[in-house]
Amino acid sequence: MNRQSSPRRGAAQELRDEPEEARRRQLIEVTIDSLAEVGYVGSTLAQIAQRADVSPGLVAHYFGDKDGLLEAAFRTLARGIEQRVRERLRLARTPRGRVQAIIDTNLAPEEFDQRTGTAWLAFWGQVLHVQGLRRVQTAYQRRMLSNLRHALKRLLPSEEARSLAAMIAAMIDGVWLRAALSRWQEADSESARALLTAFVDSRLKECAVPESGVERVAAAPAARVVGNSRRPTSFTTRNPATGEVLAEIAVDGPAEITAAVARASAAQIEWARLPGVARGRILRRAADILRARTAELAQLETRDTGKPIQETSAVDVLSGADCLEYYAGLAASIAGEHLDLGPQAFGYTRREPLGVVAGIGAWNYPLQIACWKSAPALACGNAMIFKPAELTPLTALKLRDAFAEAGLPQGVFQVVQGMADTGRLLTAHPAIRKVSLTGEVGTGKAVMADSAASLKQVTLELGGKSPLIIFEDAHLENAVGGALLGNFYSAGEVCSNGTRVFVHRAIKAAFLERLTARVSAMRIGDPLDPATQVGSLISEDHMMKVLTYIGRGKAEGARLAVGGQRITSGDLANGFFVAPAVFDQCHDDMAIVREEIFGPVMSVLEFDDEEEVIARANATDYGLAAGVFTNDLTRAHRVIARLQAGTCWINHYNVTPIELPFGGVKLSGLGRENGRAAIEHYTQLKSVYVAMSDVESPY
């Protein structure tokens, strides 16, 4: 259901001399008045023309027929309410606040206005019969659900988020509809919002499964609102392990994005003209700068993400530098091909840059993701505008500085900051030719939908629930090591994690014994301590989501073999530390087995034979990664060939050398990062036919 208030029209006579757009708008206002007064049936084209004091031919000129006019009116109302929702969402600083923003906008006082409400009822009554109205209604409804789901997914497991989002949407519609049908006697805006607020609060309370010792710490500070602007102008980034404030970051809005795109467009032309070897030289210098600053960058990454310094110094910074170096080497060899078309012609292809491209990053590997996106983009001659996740905005700025020091022309790599709205400004910008996103499946769908308007190319690196299969002949200690790497590195906040660990029944007891012993010995602590192996989760919201899943696993009958509790001893109470959890006695239909948790939660499942485990491993909408441990190499290749996953490991897990393409199938994404494959995603082909003879024309 779509509803929106709209201002009353001006004098109809004014229509005649107005420019076209103003005329259209005013005819729409007249239509809404008409619907409110005489309803759908009474609102004919002739009657609307008469009210507007214009000829029916003029109305038909603009809108075709009555259905066209009503669809335009409906679309105007729907766009208006979407715009107001977006404005309120920008102001909201917490997931709960975002849910409230959607409720408050949809049930705002103006939505309970007699004129607006009656017009909406008239539209609503026709949605089933008029295809154009149905399209508008469906699109609006989808957006409302997606906004609700996106906010709720930060608070709840995804299935519960989906179902609560549907309930809230239905209640918003239901409360409003009852009020409208009672001619606004049954509820006003205030009581409707109070009802929805109480409902959401009680549902969230019921869904949360608090662990003992869980304390809620202060939520993020409210957005700074300056003057009349309702857009948050900055946000605070904190160390999730300590709560320490690291920086106040300015949010980039429409003006900043427009300026960044203009700078990038100008800079890209010159950058693309450089020979590949010259572009490569600059990337190579940037790689050297990152390596020389490993200690400093690793410390910053650890403070921004809560990950152990032993990881950020060994992996995050160096893998980013490797990536720059790899594409530095490839830059000079990016080429098309020559095609022999016989003695009288030949053809060739040119592999050309796309132009200005955007990168949007997730918070789990901020610097590495920025490198994985920018290095191939720049090597191919594109300019990139990169938006890091709001939770981890800092190291992308250091990458920008390293590029500048290495001699990258200004504007070729820029960093913009902000939340989803800043991301949307990039996906909506017509001059940006491609978006590469790392994020959740829902975000991937939104980015792809938004990119469609300007037919942007997309690379989507999305979520997963990957299988790790351990056969009875596997090297046990290696298999346990692989399962640990594939579940608890970066506190489990890794997209490709093999969180469904299928272990052959014959070795399950031995596997579990070694696994739990090694998990119990893991050191959880201050991420800046080089001995620490498990750091903090990224945020309180995320920790609550992980703990909720753990509670849910227990409630569904899985056995928690080890870990799973929040650690609050000493200074760790200031952060979001959760002991790595291993669940045994899991079933394929449990939420912890089906849904991406993105935290330190492993599910161990038993299997008996190869056919069975392949079918179970593939029984998911995701398809990011998969792993197999076995000493039977024939079986290893046979099984890998049948697993529906974009990235696979045999007798290892979660190693991602830059030479190997990385990406998913099914809902885990589109396109590939890394390797030569990424070059194809940052270039476009131009085909050239060259004639070597006279033109024979029949004319």
Q: Does residue 66 have an active-site annotation?
A: no
Residue 389 is a binding residue for ligand NDP (CB under 6 A): yes
Stretch 464-493: interaction string toward ligand NDP, x if CB under 6 A = x-----------------------------
**Which secondary-structure segment (H or E) carries 469?**
strand 467-470
Task: In whole angstroms, give the CA distance from residue 640 to residue 614.
Answer: 9
Q: Is 598 in the site for ligand NDP (CB under 6 A)?
A: yes
211 binds ligand NDP (CB under 6 A): no
Burial 560-573 (b: 16+ CB within 10 A, else e): bbbbbbbbbeeebe
Residues that contact ligand NDP, how many (by CB under 6 A): 30
Indicate if 696 belongs to the active site: no
Confirm whether 612 is a catalytic residue. Answer: no
* CB neighbour list of residue 523: distance below 8 Å, 6 or more residues apart: 531, 532, 533, 534
User: Would you call 323 a catalytic residue per the annotation?
Assistant: no
For residue 489, the minimal CB distance to ligand NDP (Å) is: 12
Please report whether residue 495 would count as binding ligand NDP according to CB under 6 A. Answer: yes
At its nearest, how many Å lie between ligand NDP and the CB of residue 495? Answer: 3
Q: Is 245 exposed, middle or buried (0-12, 13-18, 19+ CB in 10 A)?
A: exposed
Measured CA to CA, the distance from residue 373 to residue 674 in angstroms comes to 9
Of 70-78, 182-190, 295-303, 361-369: span binding ligand NDP (CB under 6 A): 361-369
- Mapped onto helix, strand or coil, the DSSP state of residue 596 is coil
Does residue 232 touch ligand NDP according to CB under 6 A?
Answer: no
CB of 424 to ligand NDP, least distance (A): 4
Lookup result for tokens 């351990």: 470
Q: How far apart are the C-alpha atoms of 35 and 12, rounded to whole Å?
A: 16
Structure tokens given for 258: 């427009």
Residue numbers 18-37 binding ligand NDP by CB under 6 A: none
Strand partners of residue 691: 345
Choosing from 82, 461, 493, 540, which is the catalytic residue?
461
Site for ligand NDP in 403-462 (CB under 6 A): 419-420, 423-424, 427, 437-440, 443, 446-447, 461-462
360 φ, ψ (degrees, to nearest 5):
-125, 125
From the CB of 388, what's the least distance to ligand NDP, in Å? 6
Taking CB under 6 A as the rule, does residue 361 contact ligand NDP?
yes
What is the chain's length? Answer: 699
Looking at residue 662, the DSSP 8-state letter turns out to be: B
Q: Which of 379, 366, 372 is nearest to 408 (CA)?
A: 379
- Which CB, 563 or 664, lies closer to ligand NDP? 664
- 412 vs 404: CA distance, rounded Å: 9
Q: CB–CB of 147/100 below 8 Å?
A: no
CB 513 within 8 A of CB 126: no
Does 253 bind ligand NDP (CB under 6 A)? Our answer is no
271 versus 386: smaller Cβ distance to ligand NDP: 386
Q: According to the binding rule CB under 6 A, does residue 161 interact with ligand NDP? A: no
- The candidate with the shortest Cα–Cα distance to 465, out of 581, 565, 602, is 602
CA distance linking residue 280 with residue 375, whole number of Å: 9
Token match 């250091």: residue? 398
Note whether 362 binds ligand NDP by CB under 6 A: yes
* By the rule CB under 6 A, 499 interacts with ligand NDP: no
Is 626 a binder of ligand NDP (CB under 6 A)?
Answer: no
Stretch that binds ligand NDP, among 48-56, 308-316, 358-366, 681-689 (CB under 6 A): 358-366
- Of 198-206, 292-300, 303-311, 387-395: span binding ligand NDP (CB under 6 A): 387-395
Of the residues 104, 304, 311, 390, which one makes contact with ligand NDP according to CB under 6 A: 390
- Coil/strand/helix, residue 64: coil
Please tell me whether residue 371 binds ligand NDP under the rule CB under 6 A.
no
Q: Choose, from 456, 495, 540, 595, the residue flagged as catalytic.
A: 495
**674 binds ligand NDP per the rule CB under 6 A:** no
Burial 14-38 (b: 16+ CB within 10 A, else e): ebeeeeeeebbebbbbbbbbbbbee
Applying CB under 6 A, which of residues 303, 387, 400, 456 lies at the interface with ligand NDP?
387
91 neighbors 20 (Cβ within 8 angstroms): no
Say which of 373, 387, 398, 465 is annotated catalytic.
373
Per CB under 6 A, 636 contacts ligand NDP: no
Q: Is 102 in the site for ligand NDP (CB under 6 A)?
A: no
Residue (127 or 543) nearer to ligand NDP, CB: 543
> Does 302 engage in binding with ligand NDP (CB under 6 A)?
no
Q: Two tokens at 105?
A: 């906008």
Burial class (CB in 10 A: 0-12, 13-18, 19+), 509: exposed
Number of neighbours of residue 682 by Cβ within 10 angstroms: 28
CA atoms of 629 and 616, how far apart (whole Å):
16
Residue selected from 157, 306, 359, 463 as contacting ligand NDP according to rule CB under 6 A: 463
Please, what is the minimum distance in Å from the beta carbon of residue 53 to ligand NDP?
43
* CB of residue 451 to ligand NDP, shortest distance in Å: 9
Asked if 596 touches ligand NDP (CB under 6 A), the answer is yes
3-state secondary structure 490-545: HHHCCCCCCCEEEEEHHHHHHHHHHHHHHHHCCCECCCCCCCCCECCCCCHHHHHH
Q: Which residue is nearest to ligand NDP (CB)?
A: 423
Q: How far is the CB of 535 from ligand NDP (least distance, A)?
A: 16
Residues that bind ligand NDP in the complex, under the rule CB under 6 A: 360-364, 387, 389-390, 419-420, 423-424, 427, 437-440, 443, 446-447, 461-464, 495, 596, 598, 624, 664, 669
Task: Indicate which residues carry an active-site annotation.
Answer: 373, 461, 495, 673
